[in-house]
Amino acid sequence: MSTSVDNIHALEWREQELRVLDQRKLPQKQVYESCTSCECVYNAIHSMRVRGAPAIGIAAAYGVVLAAADRYKTDPVGWKNRIGEDLEKLAASRPTAVNLFWALERMRKIISEMGNDDPVPILLSEAKGIHEEDIAANHHMGEQGAKLLGQADGLLTHCNTGALATGGYGTALGVIRSAYRKKSRQIYATETRPWMQGTRLTAWELKQDKIPVTLVTDSAAAYLMSKGHVQWVIVGADRIAANGDVANKIGTYSLAVQARHHGVKFMVVAPTSTIDWQLEQGAFIEIESRKNSELLGNYYSDTDEEIKAWNPVFDITPADYIDVIVTEKGIVENPNQDRLGEIQ
């Protein structure tokens, strides 16, 4: 069944450029920026025009295509010796989302196997493949995750994990979309402070699909659960350690603790490209912090001596608090290193 979500594209490749939907301007405006250079893609990721782990990886892959086009044009013989600088630049754009490094490694492998012909057609084919694979994986995860929900009426999600955060359709929001098509349910979305991805992006996406959604403040989630209105919390992930610990948008950990206390099930939905098999546990995941001004706003100065801010972008949810991880390769219940390793 075709839906309006099919028309939501965070990233679009058009001829020789990557069109990036500036998510900072949603929902008031839908503004696309045309990137024709690796530097532009780096800035789009770093500034959060592009956000969401899968979308970041896809954008980086296209960034490599643009870098190769520029390097080959200026130095057809020695371009491979210089493009490593571009890959390192892209890798520095966001440190937590492992999909970024996974996509860059795929592109690096293709580059290492190439000869001296124009690299753009082959690299573009790989980038498009990464993009298309993500969309297909999202649809599959959406269907598989929806089957686990049974007759649950209340679903709560955090941050934005939909078409805007992925190649299309979404991870956690993909599960919610698939579940809603099978049965009308009450969808709750947290505001997701301080960037308000739930308010600005998730609510907007669901509206495009004509799926009713109720917004709640992040701090109201526990009370909502205590009233029996939520049966499942469904979230995405920016990185999953080999033991099943999950790094996701700040506030995910507190939702998991609250869910466990209230007997609410907790689901993480992410492609296997989000799993960092080399990382033993979540404690080793690098957590990005952003500017104090995002919290201080217009009230206080960044240079104020008495009032500071602590602004981590992500937190770590231990595997013990997760009931199930849904991937395109399989479903892992009560995740730990052995169970997660079965889908490697």
138, 55 contact by CB (below 8 A):
no
63, 136 contact by CB (below 8 A):
no
Among 324, 251, 330, 271, CA closest to 99? 271
Dist CA 112 CA 98 (whole Å)? 21
3-state secondary structure of 247: strand
Does 238 participate in catalysis according to the annotation? yes
Dist CA 268 CA 255 (whole Å)? 12
Dist CA 87 CA 63 (whole Å)? 9
Among 80, 168, 74, CA closest to 122? 80
Q: What is the Cβ-side half-sphere exposure of residue 87, based on CA atoms within 13 angstroms? A: 20
Q: 198: how many CB neighbours lie within 10 A of its CB?
A: 26
One of 86, 238, 276, 315 is an active-site residue; which one?
238
Dist CA 144 CA 121 (whole Å)? 35
φ, ψ dihedrals at 333, nearest 5°: -90, 145
- Six-digit token string for 270: 């992410």
Q: Which residues are catalytic?
A: 238
